[in-house]
C-alpha cells in the first residue's frame, strides 16, 4: 500500500504542477512611469528656468540699448541745436567733434547688431511699450530742433533715419515759392548785372544784359546809349545806329538819343545824316543840342538852319560871345553887312572867345567897316 500511495501521491503532485503551469497569472510589468517621471519633470524645470533667465537678460539688454540710443540721440540733437544758436557758436565748434564721434559709434553699434529672430525670443507687451516710450522721447527733441533750426546745415552727423513727420516738415521748410517779378524789377536786375560785367571788362555779358534791360524796359535811354556804345566799340555801326533810332521812335523828343546818334554819324564822316537827326528841335532843347545843330548847318552852308539855331542860342545865353560870332558869320554869308558888323562887335565884347577867335573877329570888323565905309 505504501508503494501504491506514493505512486498516487506523485501522480497527484505532477497533475497539480501541470495545472499550475497551465493556469494564468498576472504579468510582472515594471513601472516605467515611476522610473522616468522624475527625470522628465526635472528636465522641464531646468528648461523653464533657463528660458526665464534668458528672457530677463534679453529684456535688460534691450532696455539698456534703447536707453543708450536715446541718450546718444539726445546728445546729437543738443549738439545740433547748439551749433545753430548764435550765442554758442564758438563753444559748439570746440565741443562738436567728440560729441559727434561718440554718437556715431553708439548709434552705429545699434544698427550693426544682427536682428534677433522672432521664433527664438518673444518680446512681451511691456518691453514694446517701453520701446515706444523711448522712441517718443527721442522724437520730441527732433521735432523741437526742426522748428527752431530753419536752415539745414551740411554738418549733420546723426545717422538715425528721420521719421515721416520730420520729412514732411523738412519738405515744407525747403519749398521754393516762385514769385513773379515786375518788368521794372527784372530790368533793374539785368542793369545791375551789366554794371558788374563792365567792372570785370566782360563786354559780351554786359551787352547781353543791356539787351535784356531794353526787352523789359525799352524806355531806358541810358541803357540804350551804353549798349550802342558797346556795339560801336565792336565796330558794329549799323546795329548801334539801329538801337538809337529805335529809342528815338519811342520818344521823339529824346535829346540824349538824338545827340548820341548825331555824334556817332559825325565820327563816321556823315555830317548830312548827323544834321538830319538834329533838324527836329525838341521842346526845351538844351544849348548843346542847338550848338551842335548850328555848327553842322554852318559847316554844310545851310544858313537857314544855322541862323535859327544861333538866334535861339543868343536868346538863351546872350552873354556868350561864341553864339554872337556864329550869328555874325551867318549874317555875313547872307550879305547882311550891317547886321554882321553889329554881331561881330557884340561878340568881341562878350566873354567866351579864344584869342584866335578874337583876332578873327577884329579882322572881320575892319573888313566890313571898309566895305561899308564905317569908321
Claim: this prediction has a pTM higher than 0.75: no
Q: How many Å separate Cα 132 from the centre of its chain?
A: 40
Question: Does residue 65 register a pLDDT over 90?
Answer: no
Q: Please give the CATH topology (third level) of the domain spanning 185-280.
A: 1.25.40
Distances (CA, A) of 175 to 156, 164, 165, 219: 20, 17, 16, 36
- Exposure string (b/e) for 214-248, b if CB count within 10 Å is 16 or more? bebbbebbebbbbbbebbbeeeebeebbebbeebb
Say how far apart CA 107 and CA 223 lie, in whole Å.
61
Q: What tens digit of pLDDT does each residue of 137-180 get? A: 444 444 343 444 444 444 444 455 657 666 666 666 656 667 77
Q: What tens digit of pLDDT does each residue of 311-334 get? A: 999 999 999 999 999 999 999 999
Quickly list DSSP for 81-99: HHHH-GGGHHHHHHHHHHH
Helix (H) or strand (E) holding 373: none
Q: How many Å separate Cα 366 from the centre of its chain?
A: 77
- Of 255, 256, 292, 252, nearest to 275 by C-alpha is 292
Between 58 and 272, name the one with better pLDDT: 272
State the CATH class of domain 289-375.
mainly alpha
Q: Residue 235: CA atoms inside 13 Å, Cβ hemisphere, count?
A: 0
Domains 185-280 and 289-375 share a fold: yes
Domain residue spans of the chain: 46-114+122-170, 185-280, 289-375
157 in Cβ contact with 104 (< 8 Å)? yes
Amino acid at each position: 500500500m505504501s508503494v501504491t500511495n506514493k505512486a498516487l501521491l506523485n501522480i497527484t503532485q505532477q497533475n497539480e504542477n501541470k495545472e499550475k503551469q497551465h493556469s494564468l497569472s498576472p504579468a510582472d510589468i515594471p513601472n516605467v512611469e515611476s522610473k522616468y517621471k522624475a527625470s522628465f519633470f526635472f528636465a522641464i524645470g531646468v528648461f523653464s528656468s533657463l528660458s526665464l533667465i534668458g528672457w530677463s537678460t534679453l529684456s535688460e539688454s534691450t532696455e539698456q540699448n534703447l536707453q543708450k540710443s536715446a541718450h546718444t540721440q539726445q546728445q546729437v540733437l543738443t549738439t545740433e541745436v547748439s551749433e545753430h544758436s548764435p550765442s554758442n557758436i564758438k563753444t559748439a565748434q570746440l565741443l562738436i567733434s567728440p560729441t559727434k564721434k561718440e554718437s556715431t559709434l553708439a548709434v552705429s553699434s545699434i544698427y550693426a547688431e544682427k536682428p534677433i529672430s522672432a521664433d527664438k525670443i518673444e518680446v512681451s507687451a511691456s518691453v514694446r511699450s517701453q520701446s515706444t516710450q523711448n522712441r517718443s522721447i527721442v522724437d520730441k527733441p527732433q521735432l523741437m530742433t526742426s522748428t527752431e533750426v530753419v536752415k539745414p546745415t551740411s554738418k549733420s552727423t546723426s545717422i538715425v533715419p528721420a521719421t515721416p513727420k520730420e520729412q514732411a516738415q523738412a519738405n515744407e521748410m525747403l519749398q521754393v515759392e516762385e514769385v513773379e517779378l515786375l518788368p521794372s524789377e527784372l530790368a533793374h536786375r539785368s542793369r545791375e548785372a551789366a554794371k558788374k560785367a563792365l567792372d570785370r571788362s566782360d563786354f559780351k555779358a554786359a551787352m547781353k544784359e543791356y539787351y535784356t534791360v531794353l526787352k523789359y524796359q525799352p524806355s531806358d535811354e541810358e541803357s540804350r546809349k551804353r549798349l550802342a556804345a558797346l556795339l560801336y566799340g565792336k565796330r558794329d555801326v549799323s546795329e548801334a545806329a539801329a538801337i538809337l533810332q529805335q529809342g528815338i521812335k519811342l520818344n521823339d523828343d529824346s535829346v540824349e538819343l538824338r545827340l548820341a546818334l548825331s555824334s556817332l554819324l559825325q565820327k563816321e564822316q556823315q555830317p548830312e545824316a548827323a544834321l538830319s537827326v538834329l533838324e527836329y528841335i525838341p521842346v526845351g532843347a538844351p544849348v548843346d543840342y542847338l550848338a551842335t545843330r548850328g555848327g553842322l548847318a554852318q559847316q554844310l552852308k545851310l544858313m537857314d538852319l544855322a541862323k535859327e539855331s544861333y538866334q535861339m542860342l543868343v536868346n538863351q545865353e546872350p552873354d556868350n560871345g561864341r553864339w554872337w560870332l556864329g550869328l555874325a558869320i551867318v549874317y555875313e554869308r547872307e550879305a547882311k553887312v550891317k547886321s554882321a558888323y553889329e554881331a561881330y562887335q557884340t561878340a568881341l565884347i562878350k566873354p567866351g572867345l579864344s584869342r584866335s577867335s578874337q583876332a578873327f573877329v577884329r579882322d572881320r570888323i575892319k573888313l566890313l567897316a571898309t566895305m561899308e565905309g564905317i569908321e
